[in-house]
């Protein structure tokens, strides 16, 4: 006959038994759910960073040699212009003001791969292919008078001849066309470092006043800060303030 003590021991033994283990399906479901949440958070963070802070771009042409080469990937800070102002010498990415780029059909990788690549570029996991965008160096700010060529065959900004040797491709001249313009308000005058192979502000200003060739600041995506690919070309992108250190300041047009 079972005693009260035996019953108490049986109940204690039963309560000490381990809880049933979760099924494999349950554990797998939890792992999948956790993975989806982590991926969603990562994609959201990548999208926010790409939209408001930094974005990677691919260099498709020779116009910025030797500073940038075809195939380079650069990181562009979207805080300039914005919290930080543009400066002469900044290397900037900007949207095509209209008619600067030749229409080229996009590379077709197949419907599925195209969709994947577009989605990854959209959230910032792949560098932008730069379709519809250009990259050049700012040489004139709003109100600046930019001329070429002045004394010694140099580019002149506000009457001061500047030495562009730190960034202009060796063997090329400051400009193979003459011009004398004033940069309109809220715009910048841009030129490629490879002056002999760059379709920049010089060639989109038919009136020769600077009005059409200058790029509206609201089209500037941001300032290029670093080259991050290929690995043997990883480096910062300087704006060479020493080149423009002695350029006289001028009033912004319209003030």
* 3-state class (DSSP) for residue 40: helix
Q: Tell me the C-alpha distance between 50 and 127, whole Å.
A: 10
Q: Tell me the C-alpha distance between 135 and 58, whole Å.
A: 10
Q: Tell me the C-alpha distance between 201 and 97, whole Å.
A: 10
Q: Tell me the C-alpha distance between 166 and 148, whole Å.
A: 18
Indicate if 136 belongs to the active site: yes
Given 50, 61, 77, 136, which residue is catalytic?
136
Given 61, 63, 187, 201, which residue is catalytic?
63
Indicate if 50 belongs to the active site: no
Nearest residue to 135 via CA among 79, 72, 53, 204: 72
Q: Which residues are catalytic?
A: 63, 136
């Amino acid at each position: 006959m079972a005693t009260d003590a035996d019953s108490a021991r049986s109940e204690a033994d039963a309560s000490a038994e381990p809880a049933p283990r979760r099924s494999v399906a349950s554990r797998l479901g939890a792992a999948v759910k956790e993975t989806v949440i982590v991926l969603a958070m990562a994609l959201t963070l990548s999208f926010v960073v790409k939209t408001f802070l930094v974005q990677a771009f691919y260099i498709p042409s020779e116009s910025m040699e030797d500073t940038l080469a075809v195939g380079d990937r650069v990181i562009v800070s979207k805080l300039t212009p914005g919290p930080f102002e543009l400066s002469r010498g900044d290397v900037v990415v900007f949207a095509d003001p209209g008619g600067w780029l030749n229409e080229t059909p996009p590379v077709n990788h197949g419907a599925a791969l195209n969709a994947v690549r577009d989605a990854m570029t959209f959230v910032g996991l792949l560098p932008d292919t730069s379709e519809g965008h250009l990259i050049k160096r700012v040489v004139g700010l709003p109100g600046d008078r930019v001329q070429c060529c002045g004394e010694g065959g140099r580019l002149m900004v506000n009457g001061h001849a500047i030495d562009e040797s730190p960034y202009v491709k060796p063997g090329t001249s400051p400009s193979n066309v003459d011009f004398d313009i004033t940069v309109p308000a809220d715009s910048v005058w841009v030129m490629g470092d490879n002056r002999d192979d760059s379709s920049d502000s010089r060639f989109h200003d038919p009136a020769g006043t600077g009005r059409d060739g200058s790029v509206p600041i609201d089209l500037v995506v941001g300032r290029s800060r670093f080259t991050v690919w290929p690995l043997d070309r990883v480096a910062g992108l300087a704006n060479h303030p020493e080149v423009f250190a002695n350029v006289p300041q001028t009033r912004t047009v319209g003030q």
